[in-house]
Chain A
């Protein structure tokens, strides 16, 4: 049996399927990429060797895909903290295009489903998320599934 501490105040009954949220934007910087390489230990040349990347299909360093996901989690939290900061049960994610240094991304999140979980007293909520750049291109997208406490009584 999993145990999830109640980290947010939102309850199952408060969540409305179809609700959509748009986050503020954030410009992804070289510093973000350097810090993420240091934290994760992923020093793939894609993210760390500017000279090598000049001759690549991207022409320059690109952000780690998981850095984009991490930043998108922060952005989504600024739009609708109670919802996206619920404990994760699962996620499905696609990286559609590169995030380059200086790109500004934002997140569009929409509640697509909620249902009772197998564990008594808990539900799961599904959130569809799209990460868009300054040209409106979807660079990442997917859905996240979260555990949420059902209202007691």
Chain B
């Protein structure tokens, strides 16, 4: 019989993509799609406390970026071992409407090793169902290095 895990033992670690695993020049990673529904907009507006406005079908401007962070976990590669989100630059190229289906496409633009972890610069695009880039920008992420053996 297997012995029980020691009290306080850490749960098994999820697989993670560490700083050393990030390859420059790799093909862009594209996520599955996500159809924007009235529920997404209502949940976001309620949580953020923003006015829904009186324009039917409006998608909150900041919602697609928020959804892309979860979409990034749904690619055939372990999620980045992000220690901190440091900042980002973002541009809005065109409107999205409820009923549109977004997906996210990312590639690593640059990486910089630090004493504790490393900084990854990620270029990200949000595409609609017609493949048009509706939002895009560059994210700066502090990512963990593998623990020394």
Binding site for B on A (CB under 8 A): 2-5, 7, 26, 32, 35-36, 39-46, 52, 64-67, 69-71, 73-75, 77-78, 81, 85, 87-95, 142
What separation, in Å, do the CA atoms of A64 and B69 have in the docked complex?
10
Q: Mark each residue of chain B from 85 to 102: 1 if its CB lies under 8 Å from any CB of chain A, else 0.
A: 111111111110000000
Asked if B48 lies at the interface with its beta carbon under 8 angstroms from chain A, I say: yes
**Chain B residues in 8 Å Cβ range of A64:** 66, 69, 85
What separation, in Å, do the CA atoms of A88 and B89 have in the docked complex?
13
The answer to whether B67 and A41 touch across the interface, beta carbons within 8 angstroms, is: yes
The answer to whether A90 and B48 touch across the interface, beta carbons within 8 angstroms, is: no
Nearest CB of A to B64, in Å: 11
The answer to whether A71 and B51 touch across the interface, beta carbons within 8 angstroms, is: no
Q: Mark each residue of chain B from 40 to 52: 1 if its CB lies under 8 Å from any CB of chain A, else 0.
A: 1001100111110
**Known contacts A4-B95, A5-B55; A66/B69 CB under 8 A:** yes
**Chain B residues in 8 Å Cβ range of A52:** 10
Binding site for A on B (CB under 8 A): 10, 14, 40, 43-44, 47-51, 53-55, 58, 61-62, 65-67, 69-71, 73-74, 79, 82-95
Of the candidates A5, A41, A71, A78, the one having the most CB atoms from chain B within 10 angstroms of its own CB is: A41
| 6 pairs from A and B in contact (CB 8 Å cutoff) | A39-B47, A52-B10, A66-B69, A85-B51, A89-B92, A93-B89
The answer to whether A75 and B51 touch across the interface, beta carbons within 8 angstroms, is: no
Nearest CB of B to A24, in Å: 10
**Known contacts A73-B50, A74-B48, A90-B91; A46/B62 CB under 8 A:** no
Nearest CB of B to A54, in Å: 10
The answer to whether B53 and A70 touch across the interface, beta carbons within 8 angstroms, is: no
